[in-house]
Amino acid sequence: DTEVTQTPKHLVMGMTNKKSLKCEQHMGHRAMYWYKQKAKKPPELMFVYSYEKLSINESVPSRFSPECPNSSLLNLHLHALQPEDSALYLCASSQSVGTVSREQYFGPGTRLTVT
């Protein structure tokens, strides 16, 4: 199984709402990632989790709150978002083996619209 699943596929939320994005993998990967992708732009790294601990936060605003409850699951909690946060949110996972490179597997993404 080389699949990363993300739910929901689409999400529309108001600026006062609280919602969560979910990502799951069952490949035994110990590194998981959140990316944000605006239309016609490349993915931008947001967060990296390694062995369920947050290792990289790319200066993401606090209205985005990541959580890694276990090695298979990654959540992104959303609160008080702005319309400019509308984007495709991508989750990825990879083995985490020191400095030896491993490819990342991406999910299909959640298309978020903030109204």
Partner 1 sequence: DAKTTQPPSMDCAEGRAANLPCNHSTISGNEYVYWYRQIHSQGPQYIIHGLKNNETNEMASLIITEDRKSSTLILPHATLRDTAVYYCIVRVPNTGNQFYFGTGTSLTVIP
Residues that bind partner 1 (CB under 8 A): 4, 31, 33, 42-45, 48, 50, 55-56, 88, 90, 92, 94-96, 99, 101-109, 111
Q: Is the Cβ of residue 17 or residue 95 nearer to partner 1 in the bound state? A: 95
CB of 81 to partner 1, least distance (A): 21
CA distance linking residue 39 with residue 102, whole number of Å:
27
| CA 3 to chain centroid | 15
What does DSSP say about strands 64-70 and 53-57: parallel, antiparallel, or unpaired? unpaired
> What's the distance, Cα to Cα, between the start and end of the chain in Å?
36
CB of 88 to partner 1, least distance (A): 7
Q: Is the Cβ of residue 84 or residue 103 nearer to partner 1 in the bound state? A: 103
